[in-house]
Amino acid sequence: MPLASPAAWTTLSGRLVIALCAIALMATAVVASAQPVAAVDLSDRIAAVRAAQRSAESIMRQQDTAIARADAQRKVLKKGLAPLERAVDQRRAELANVKAILDTRRVRLAEKEAQYADPSAAPSDAKQRLQAVRADIRAAERSRDAAIRRQQAAVRAVWGKKTQIENNKRQRKAAIARREGAEASLSAYIKQMTDLARIKIEEQATVSLAEGGTFSWPSTGRISQPYGCTGVVYNPRRGSCKHFHDGIDVVDSSGTPVRAVAAGVVAYSGWNPYDKEGRAYVIDVVHADGYVSRYGHLLPGTPVKAGDLVHTGQIIGRMGSTGKSTGTHLHFEVLRNGKDISPLSVLPAGVVQVDKASTKAGQAALARAAKAAAKPKKPKKTPLPPPAKPFPYAKEAPVATCDDGTKVKAKGAPEAANSAVECDPTGLFAAGAQGGPPNLPLPYRGTSPAPG
Protein backbone atom coordinates (compact mmCIF):
# COMPACT_ATOMS: atom_id res chain seq x y z
CA MET A 1 0.00 0.00 0.00
CA PRO A 2 1.63 3.31 -0.98
CA LEU A 3 2.34 5.75 1.92
CA ALA A 4 0.80 8.63 0.01
CA SER A 5 -2.67 7.11 0.32
CA PRO A 6 -4.99 8.29 3.15
CA ALA A 7 -5.47 4.71 4.40
CA ALA A 8 -1.71 4.27 4.83
CA TRP A 9 -1.38 7.45 6.86
CA THR A 10 -4.32 6.44 9.02
CA THR A 11 -2.78 3.04 9.73
CA LEU A 12 0.64 4.55 10.53
CA SER A 13 -0.77 7.21 12.83
CA GLY A 14 -2.77 4.56 14.68
CA ARG A 15 0.34 2.49 15.29
CA LEU A 16 2.23 5.55 16.54
CA VAL A 17 -0.53 6.35 18.99
CA ILE A 18 -0.46 2.78 20.32
CA ALA A 19 3.34 2.91 20.71
CA LEU A 20 3.19 6.23 22.56
CA CYS A 21 0.53 4.90 24.91
CA ALA A 22 2.67 1.87 25.68
CA ILE A 23 5.67 4.08 26.40
CA ALA A 24 3.58 6.29 28.70
CA LEU A 25 2.30 3.24 30.63
CA MET A 26 5.84 1.94 31.09
CA ALA A 27 7.05 5.36 32.32
CA THR A 28 4.15 5.54 34.77
CA ALA A 29 5.02 2.11 36.14
CA VAL A 30 8.66 3.09 36.58
CA VAL A 31 7.76 6.32 38.40
CA ALA A 32 5.26 4.52 40.60
CA SER A 33 7.82 1.92 41.62
CA ALA A 34 10.66 4.44 42.11
CA GLN A 35 9.66 5.62 45.60
CA PRO A 36 9.46 2.21 47.34
CA VAL A 37 12.65 1.11 45.62
CA ALA A 38 14.43 4.28 46.82
CA ALA A 39 13.12 3.73 50.34
CA VAL A 40 14.30 0.14 50.35
CA ASP A 41 17.64 1.20 48.91
CA LEU A 42 18.08 3.86 51.62
CA SER A 43 17.25 1.37 54.36
CA ASP A 44 19.72 -1.14 52.91
CA ARG A 45 22.43 1.48 52.66
CA ILE A 46 21.83 2.59 56.24
CA ALA A 47 22.00 -1.03 57.43
CA ALA A 48 25.22 -1.62 55.47
CA VAL A 49 26.90 1.53 56.81
CA ARG A 50 25.75 0.68 60.34
CA ALA A 51 27.33 -2.78 60.05
CA ALA A 52 30.53 -1.20 58.71
CA GLN A 53 30.56 1.17 61.69
CA ARG A 54 30.27 -1.72 64.12
CA SER A 55 33.06 -3.61 62.35
CA ALA A 56 35.42 -0.62 62.39
CA GLU A 57 34.53 0.09 65.99
CA SER A 58 35.25 -3.54 66.92
CA ILE A 59 38.67 -3.35 65.23
CA MET A 60 39.41 -0.15 67.10
CA ARG A 61 38.50 -1.74 70.44
CA GLN A 62 40.70 -4.76 69.65
CA GLN A 63 43.64 -2.53 68.76
CA ASP A 64 43.08 -0.44 71.86
CA THR A 65 43.30 -3.65 73.89
CA ALA A 66 46.44 -4.68 72.01
CA ILE A 67 48.02 -1.26 72.61
CA ALA A 68 47.18 -1.43 76.32
CA ARG A 69 48.61 -4.96 76.51
CA ALA A 70 51.78 -3.85 74.72
CA ASP A 71 52.15 -0.92 77.11
CA ALA A 72 51.82 -3.24 80.11
CA GLN A 73 54.34 -5.68 78.63
CA ARG A 74 56.81 -2.91 77.86
CA LYS A 75 56.52 -1.69 81.43
CA VAL A 76 57.35 -5.16 82.74
CA LEU A 77 60.21 -5.58 80.26
CA LYS A 78 61.74 -2.25 81.20
CA LYS A 79 61.40 -3.14 84.86
CA GLY A 80 63.25 -6.45 84.21
CA LEU A 81 65.93 -4.75 82.12
CA ALA A 82 67.29 -2.64 84.98
CA PRO A 83 68.65 -5.55 87.12
CA LEU A 84 70.19 -7.17 84.03
CA GLU A 85 72.04 -3.96 83.22
CA ARG A 86 73.23 -3.78 86.83
CA ALA A 87 74.46 -7.37 86.53
CA VAL A 88 76.44 -6.44 83.42
CA ASP A 89 78.07 -3.59 85.30
CA GLN A 90 78.95 -5.97 88.14
CA ARG A 91 80.46 -8.52 85.72
CA ARG A 92 82.52 -5.82 84.07
CA ALA A 93 83.84 -4.67 87.45
CA GLU A 94 84.58 -8.28 88.39
CA LEU A 95 86.47 -8.88 85.13
CA ALA A 96 88.46 -5.70 85.60
CA ASN A 97 89.43 -6.81 89.13
CA VAL A 98 90.50 -10.27 87.92
CA LYS A 99 92.57 -8.72 85.13
CA ALA A 100 94.27 -6.40 87.64
CA ILE A 101 95.15 -9.40 89.85
CA LEU A 102 96.47 -11.29 86.83
CA ASP A 103 98.62 -8.34 85.79
CA THR A 104 100.00 -8.04 89.33
CA ARG A 105 100.97 -11.71 89.42
CA ARG A 106 102.63 -11.51 86.03
CA VAL A 107 104.67 -8.53 87.18
CA ARG A 108 105.71 -10.47 90.30
CA LEU A 109 106.76 -13.46 88.19
CA ALA A 110 108.81 -11.23 85.92
CA GLU A 111 110.54 -9.67 88.90
CA LYS A 112 111.44 -13.03 90.40
CA GLU A 113 112.68 -14.41 87.09
CA ALA A 114 114.85 -11.30 86.67
CA GLN A 115 116.77 -12.25 89.81
CA TYR A 116 118.30 -15.18 88.01
CA ALA A 117 120.13 -15.09 84.74
CA ASP A 118 118.96 -18.64 84.07
CA PRO A 119 115.73 -19.50 85.98
CA SER A 120 116.29 -23.21 85.24
CA ALA A 121 119.59 -23.06 87.16
CA ALA A 122 118.04 -21.35 90.20
CA PRO A 123 118.00 -23.06 93.59
CA SER A 124 115.24 -25.52 94.30
CA ASP A 125 113.45 -23.26 96.80
CA ALA A 126 113.50 -20.41 94.25
CA LYS A 127 112.12 -22.76 91.61
CA GLN A 128 109.28 -23.70 93.98
CA ARG A 129 108.43 -20.03 94.53
CA LEU A 130 108.43 -19.40 90.76
CA GLN A 131 106.18 -22.42 90.22
CA ALA A 132 103.78 -21.12 92.91
CA VAL A 133 103.59 -17.72 91.18
CA ARG A 134 102.97 -19.42 87.83
CA ALA A 135 100.19 -21.47 89.44
CA ASP A 136 98.61 -18.27 90.77
CA ILE A 137 98.79 -16.77 87.30
CA ARG A 138 97.04 -19.80 85.78
CA ALA A 139 94.34 -19.59 88.46
CA ALA A 140 93.89 -15.89 87.74
CA GLU A 141 93.60 -16.63 84.02
CA ARG A 142 90.92 -19.21 84.73
CA SER A 143 89.08 -16.66 86.87
CA ARG A 144 89.44 -14.15 84.08
CA ASP A 145 87.97 -16.56 81.51
CA ALA A 146 85.06 -17.36 83.85
CA ALA A 147 84.43 -13.65 84.43
CA ILE A 148 84.45 -13.06 80.67
CA ARG A 149 81.90 -15.82 80.17
CA ARG A 150 79.67 -14.41 82.94
CA GLN A 151 79.92 -10.95 81.45
CA GLN A 152 79.01 -12.27 78.00
CA ALA A 153 76.00 -14.10 79.44
CA ALA A 154 74.84 -10.93 81.19
CA VAL A 155 75.26 -8.91 78.00
CA ARG A 156 73.29 -11.53 76.04
CA ALA A 157 70.51 -11.34 78.64
CA VAL A 158 70.41 -7.54 78.29
CA TRP A 159 70.34 -7.73 74.50
CA GLY A 160 67.61 -10.36 74.68
CA LYS A 161 65.51 -8.11 76.90
CA LYS A 162 66.16 -5.12 74.62
CA THR A 163 65.16 -7.24 71.62
CA GLN A 164 61.89 -8.06 73.37
CA ILE A 165 61.34 -4.36 74.03
CA GLU A 166 61.99 -3.55 70.36
CA ASN A 167 59.58 -6.28 69.26
CA ASN A 168 57.05 -4.87 71.70
CA LYS A 169 57.51 -1.40 70.16
CA ARG A 170 57.00 -2.78 66.66
CA GLN A 171 53.86 -4.63 67.75
CA ARG A 172 52.52 -1.51 69.44
CA LYS A 173 53.32 0.59 66.38
CA ALA A 174 51.51 -1.91 64.14
CA ALA A 175 48.50 -1.90 66.49
CA ILE A 176 48.44 1.91 66.42
CA ALA A 177 48.57 1.87 62.61
CA ARG A 178 45.68 -0.61 62.47
CA ARG A 179 43.71 1.48 64.95
CA GLU A 180 44.29 4.66 62.94
CA GLY A 181 43.14 2.84 59.81
CA ALA A 182 40.00 1.64 61.58
CA GLU A 183 39.47 5.14 62.97
CA ALA A 184 39.73 6.66 59.51
CA SER A 185 37.29 4.06 58.19
CA LEU A 186 34.86 4.74 61.03
CA SER A 187 35.09 8.48 60.39
CA ALA A 188 34.26 7.86 56.73
CA TYR A 189 31.33 5.64 57.71
CA ILE A 190 30.05 8.29 60.12
CA LYS A 191 30.18 10.83 57.30
CA GLN A 192 28.30 8.43 55.01
CA MET A 193 25.68 7.87 57.71
CA THR A 194 25.41 11.65 58.20
CA ASP A 195 24.68 12.10 54.49
CA LEU A 196 22.12 9.30 54.57
CA ALA A 197 20.58 10.81 57.70
CA ARG A 198 20.10 14.13 55.91
CA ILE A 199 18.31 12.31 53.08
CA LYS A 200 16.10 10.55 55.62
CA ILE A 201 15.36 13.85 57.40
CA GLU A 202 14.25 15.42 54.13
CA GLU A 203 11.97 12.45 53.49
CA GLN A 204 10.44 12.82 56.95
CA ALA A 205 9.85 16.57 56.33
CA THR A 206 11.04 17.56 59.80
CA VAL A 207 10.55 21.08 61.12
CA SER A 208 13.13 23.52 59.83
CA LEU A 209 15.11 25.00 62.70
CA ALA A 210 15.85 28.04 60.56
CA GLU A 211 12.12 28.73 60.22
CA GLY A 212 11.06 29.02 63.83
CA GLY A 213 12.06 25.59 65.13
CA THR A 214 14.08 25.51 68.38
CA PHE A 215 16.10 23.05 70.38
CA SER A 216 15.04 21.74 73.77
CA TRP A 217 17.39 21.05 76.67
CA PRO A 218 19.07 17.62 76.51
CA SER A 219 19.00 17.05 80.27
CA THR A 220 18.45 18.59 83.68
CA GLY A 221 21.17 19.84 85.99
CA ARG A 222 23.57 22.75 86.14
CA ILE A 223 26.23 23.94 83.72
CA SER A 224 29.62 23.21 85.27
CA GLN A 225 31.71 24.29 82.29
CA PRO A 226 30.57 26.75 79.60
CA TYR A 227 31.46 26.99 75.92
CA GLY A 228 34.63 28.83 74.91
CA CYS A 229 37.81 29.76 76.76
CA THR A 230 38.17 27.93 80.04
CA GLY A 231 40.79 27.10 82.64
CA VAL A 232 40.35 23.32 82.51
CA VAL A 233 43.65 21.80 81.36
CA TYR A 234 41.94 18.81 79.68
CA ASN A 235 40.67 21.10 76.92
CA PRO A 236 42.93 21.72 73.88
CA ARG A 237 44.31 25.04 72.75
CA ARG A 238 42.44 27.04 70.10
CA GLY A 239 43.43 30.44 68.77
CA SER A 240 44.14 32.80 71.61
CA CYS A 241 42.56 30.44 74.16
CA LYS A 242 45.02 28.34 76.11
CA HIS A 243 42.19 25.87 76.79
CA PHE A 244 39.02 25.83 74.68
CA HIS A 245 35.83 23.91 75.50
CA ASP A 246 33.79 23.12 72.38
CA GLY A 247 30.55 22.42 74.23
CA ILE A 248 28.86 22.73 77.62
CA ASP A 249 28.98 20.31 80.55
CA VAL A 250 25.68 19.65 82.35
CA VAL A 251 26.09 18.02 85.76
CA ASP A 252 23.51 15.78 87.38
CA SER A 253 23.35 12.33 88.97
CA SER A 254 24.42 9.16 87.18
CA GLY A 255 21.68 7.67 85.02
CA THR A 256 19.86 10.98 84.46
CA PRO A 257 17.94 10.70 81.15
CA VAL A 258 19.53 12.38 78.14
CA ARG A 259 17.02 13.42 75.47
CA ALA A 260 17.21 14.42 71.81
CA VAL A 261 17.10 18.21 71.51
CA ALA A 262 15.20 18.08 68.21
CA ALA A 263 13.88 15.62 65.65
CA GLY A 264 16.65 13.97 63.68
CA VAL A 265 18.44 10.78 62.67
CA VAL A 266 21.21 9.11 64.69
CA ALA A 267 24.47 9.20 62.71
CA TYR A 268 26.57 7.35 65.30
CA SER A 269 26.06 5.67 68.65
CA GLY A 270 29.05 4.01 70.27
CA TRP A 271 32.51 4.51 71.71
CA ASN A 272 34.05 7.80 70.68
CA PRO A 273 36.39 7.06 67.75
CA TYR A 274 38.47 10.14 68.52
CA ASP A 275 39.08 9.28 72.18
CA LYS A 276 42.46 7.55 72.49
CA GLU A 277 41.48 6.33 75.94
CA GLY A 278 38.79 4.27 74.20
CA ARG A 279 36.18 4.57 76.92
CA ALA A 280 33.97 7.57 76.02
CA TYR A 281 30.48 6.72 74.77
CA VAL A 282 28.98 9.29 72.38
CA ILE A 283 25.87 9.83 70.23
CA ASP A 284 25.63 12.08 67.16
CA VAL A 285 22.19 13.15 65.93
CA VAL A 286 21.72 14.91 62.57
CA HIS A 287 18.98 17.57 62.39
CA ALA A 288 17.62 19.80 59.66
CA ASP A 289 19.42 22.90 58.35
CA GLY A 290 22.90 21.43 58.81
CA TYR A 291 22.70 21.05 62.61
CA VAL A 292 24.29 18.13 64.47
CA SER A 293 23.97 17.57 68.23
CA ARG A 294 26.57 15.49 70.09
CA TYR A 295 26.14 13.87 73.50
CA GLY A 296 29.27 12.61 75.29
CA HIS A 297 30.32 10.65 78.42
CA LEU A 298 27.13 8.57 78.31
CA LEU A 299 26.65 5.21 79.94
CA PRO A 300 27.21 2.40 77.40
CA GLY A 301 24.29 0.51 75.91
CA THR A 302 22.08 3.33 74.61
CA PRO A 303 18.57 2.49 73.31
CA VAL A 304 19.22 4.03 69.87
CA LYS A 305 21.54 3.02 67.04
CA ALA A 306 22.84 4.60 63.87
CA GLY A 307 20.08 5.25 61.34
CA ASP A 308 17.26 5.49 63.90
CA LEU A 309 14.80 8.36 63.60
CA VAL A 310 14.33 10.19 66.94
CA HIS A 311 11.87 12.90 67.96
CA THR A 312 12.24 15.88 70.25
CA GLY A 313 12.49 14.86 73.90
CA GLN A 314 13.05 11.17 73.19
CA ILE A 315 15.40 9.47 75.66
CA ILE A 316 18.50 8.43 73.73
CA GLY A 317 20.88 7.69 76.60
CA ARG A 318 21.81 8.09 80.25
CA MET A 319 24.28 10.47 81.86
CA GLY A 320 27.55 8.81 82.86
CA SER A 321 31.27 9.41 83.27
CA THR A 322 32.86 7.38 80.47
CA GLY A 323 36.02 8.59 78.79
CA LYS A 324 38.33 11.33 80.03
CA SER A 325 35.95 12.64 82.67
CA THR A 326 36.34 13.98 86.20
CA GLY A 327 32.79 13.06 87.24
CA THR A 328 29.28 12.29 86.07
CA HIS A 329 28.11 14.85 83.52
CA LEU A 330 26.86 15.32 79.96
CA HIS A 331 29.15 16.93 77.40
CA PHE A 332 26.81 18.53 74.87
CA GLU A 333 27.93 20.03 71.55
CA VAL A 334 26.09 21.68 68.67
CA LEU A 335 27.62 21.81 65.20
CA ARG A 336 26.36 23.88 62.26
CA ASN A 337 27.69 22.89 58.84
CA GLY A 338 30.56 21.01 60.46
CA LYS A 339 31.67 23.79 62.85
CA ASP A 340 30.88 23.87 66.55
CA ILE A 341 28.85 26.79 67.91
CA SER A 342 27.79 27.79 71.39
CA PRO A 343 24.91 25.51 72.47
CA LEU A 344 23.44 28.35 74.53
CA SER A 345 22.79 30.26 71.30
CA VAL A 346 20.16 27.68 70.22
CA LEU A 347 18.86 26.49 73.61
CA PRO A 348 16.02 28.17 75.51
CA ALA A 349 17.15 30.38 78.39
CA GLY A 350 16.48 29.79 82.06
CA VAL A 351 16.05 26.01 82.05
CA VAL A 352 19.40 24.81 83.35
CA GLN A 353 21.08 26.62 86.22
CA VAL A 354 24.49 28.05 85.33
CA ASP A 355 27.15 27.20 87.90
CA LYS A 356 29.17 30.42 88.17
CA ALA A 357 31.68 28.80 90.50
CA SER A 358 32.91 26.59 87.66
CA THR A 359 34.68 29.39 85.78
CA LYS A 360 37.49 31.68 86.84
CA ALA A 361 35.50 34.78 85.98
CA GLY A 362 32.52 33.44 87.93
CA GLN A 363 34.71 32.58 90.92
CA ALA A 364 36.18 36.07 90.91
CA ALA A 365 32.69 37.60 90.72
CA LEU A 366 31.46 35.43 93.60
CA ALA A 367 34.54 36.33 95.66
CA ARG A 368 33.95 40.03 95.05
CA ALA A 369 30.27 39.68 96.00
CA ALA A 370 31.13 37.78 99.19
CA LYS A 371 33.77 40.35 100.12
CA ALA A 372 31.34 43.18 99.54
CA ALA A 373 28.66 41.45 101.64
CA ALA A 374 31.07 40.83 104.53
CA LYS A 375 32.42 44.38 104.55
CA PRO A 376 30.46 46.63 107.01
CA LYS A 377 28.70 49.48 105.35
CA LYS A 378 29.66 52.97 106.47
CA PRO A 379 26.76 55.34 107.23
CA LYS A 380 26.39 58.16 104.81
CA LYS A 381 27.57 61.49 106.18
CA THR A 382 25.17 64.41 105.95
CA PRO A 383 27.11 67.42 104.69
CA LEU A 384 27.14 70.33 107.15
CA PRO A 385 26.13 73.79 105.96
CA PRO A 386 29.06 76.08 105.34
CA PRO A 387 29.87 78.37 108.27
CA ALA A 388 28.71 81.98 108.06
CA LYS A 389 31.42 84.27 106.92
CA PRO A 390 32.20 87.12 109.34
CA PHE A 391 31.51 90.65 108.26
CA PRO A 392 34.78 91.82 106.77
CA TYR A 393 34.22 95.57 106.79
CA ALA A 394 34.52 96.50 110.48
CA LYS A 395 35.57 95.02 113.76
CA GLU A 396 32.45 96.28 115.52
CA ALA A 397 28.91 95.13 114.73
CA PRO A 398 27.53 97.10 111.80
CA VAL A 399 24.51 99.32 112.07
CA ALA A 400 21.52 98.41 109.93
CA THR A 401 18.50 100.52 109.03
CA CYS A 402 15.06 98.91 109.30
CA ASP A 403 12.10 99.73 107.09
CA ASP A 404 10.79 102.33 109.53
CA GLY A 405 14.16 104.12 109.69
CA THR A 406 15.20 102.60 113.04
CA LYS A 407 18.93 102.07 113.47
CA VAL A 408 19.86 98.69 114.95
CA LYS A 409 23.05 96.72 115.27
CA ALA A 410 23.00 93.80 112.84
CA LYS A 411 24.85 90.56 113.31
CA GLY A 412 25.18 90.04 109.56
CA ALA A 413 25.69 92.28 106.59
CA PRO A 414 23.70 95.58 106.49
CA GLU A 415 21.54 94.36 103.61
CA ALA A 416 20.29 91.50 105.81
CA ALA A 417 18.76 93.86 108.36
CA ASN A 418 15.27 93.84 106.80
CA SER A 419 14.93 90.11 107.58
CA ALA A 420 16.87 90.11 110.83
CA VAL A 421 15.26 89.65 114.21
CA GLU A 422 16.80 92.91 115.37
CA CYS A 423 14.07 94.84 113.48
CA ASP A 424 11.34 92.76 115.16
CA PRO A 425 12.71 91.63 118.53
CA THR A 426 9.36 90.39 119.85
CA GLY A 427 8.57 88.40 116.73
CA LEU A 428 5.07 89.70 116.46
CA PHE A 429 5.30 90.66 112.84
CA ALA A 430 7.20 87.68 111.55
CA ALA A 431 5.53 85.61 108.85
CA GLY A 432 2.79 83.59 110.54
CA ALA A 433 3.88 84.44 114.10
CA GLN A 434 0.98 84.78 116.65
CA GLY A 435 -1.57 85.38 113.92
CA GLY A 436 0.35 88.31 112.43
CA PRO A 437 -0.05 89.03 108.74
CA PRO A 438 2.17 86.76 106.68
CA ASN A 439 4.59 87.77 103.97
CA LEU A 440 4.74 91.48 104.99
CA PRO A 441 7.94 93.50 105.17
CA LEU A 442 9.57 93.96 108.54
CA PRO A 443 9.23 95.84 110.84
CA TYR A 444 5.43 96.18 110.89
CA ARG A 445 5.12 98.82 113.50
CA GLY A 446 4.18 102.46 113.64
CA THR A 447 2.52 102.55 110.21
CA SER A 448 -0.01 99.76 110.73
CA PRO A 449 -2.38 98.96 113.57
CA ALA A 450 -1.22 96.38 116.03
CA PRO A 451 -2.73 92.97 115.56
CA GLY A 452 -5.67 92.14 117.71
DSSP one-letter string for 227-257: SEE---TTSPPBTTBSSEESSEEEE--TT-E
Which H, E and C letters describe 186-215, residue by residue?
HHHHHHHHHHHHHHHHHHHCCCCHHHCCCC
State how far the Cα of 124 lies from the Cα of 113, in Å rounded to an integer. 13
Both 57 and 174 in a single domain?
Answer: yes
Both 169 and 63 in a single domain?
Answer: yes
Both 265 and 226 in a single domain?
Answer: yes
Residues 6 or more apart from 199 whose CB is under 8 A from it? Answer: 42
Residue 10 lies in a domain: no
State how far the Cα of 261 lies from the Cα of 246, in Å rounded to an integer. 17
Both 336 and 423 in a single domain?
Answer: no
Both 217 and 260 in a single domain?
Answer: yes
Residue 346 lies in a domain: yes
Of the candidates 200, 342, 188, 322, which has an alpha carbon nearest to the alpha carbon of residue 266? 200
Both 398 and 432 in a single domain?
Answer: yes
Both 198 and 223 in a single domain?
Answer: no
pLDDT of residue 3: 46
Q: How far is CA 320 from the centre of its chain?
A: 16
Domain carrying residue 288: 213-374
Both 171 and 221 in a single domain?
Answer: no
Residue 186 lies in a domain: yes
* CB-based contact 247:327 (threshold 8 Å): no
In the chain (452 residues long), the average pLDDT of successive 10-residue segments reads 52 57 50 43 88 89 89 90 88 88 84 74 76 85 88 90 92 92 88 88 64 74 82 69 83 90 89 68 89 91 88 90 86 89 82 52 62 72 68 56 64 50 56 44 43 42
CA 253, 257, 260, 266 torsion: positive or negative? Answer: positive
Both 157 and 124 in a single domain?
Answer: yes
* CB-based contact 293:340 (threshold 8 Å): no
Residue 246 lies in a domain: yes
Q: How many domains does the chain have?
A: 3
Both 236 and 366 in a single domain?
Answer: yes
Both 199 and 219 in a single domain?
Answer: no
Residue 7 lies in a domain: no
State how far the Cα of 84 lies from the Cα of 154, in Å rounded to an integer. 7
Classify 245 in phi/psi space as left (phi over 0), alpha (psi -120 to 50) or beta: beta
State how far the Cα of 155 lies from the Cα of 430, in Å rounded to an integer. 123
pLDDT of residue 170: 93
pLDDT of residue 213: 53
Both 40 and 186 in a single domain?
Answer: yes
Q: What is the CATH number of the domain that holds 274?
A: 2.70.70.10
Residue 1 lies in a domain: no
State how far the Cα of 193 lies from the Cα of 265, in Å rounded to an integer. 9
State how far the Cα of 288 lies from the Cα of 198, in Å rounded to an integer. 7
Report the predicted TM-score, pTM, of the whole model to 2 decimal places.
0.55
pLDDT of residue 398: 62
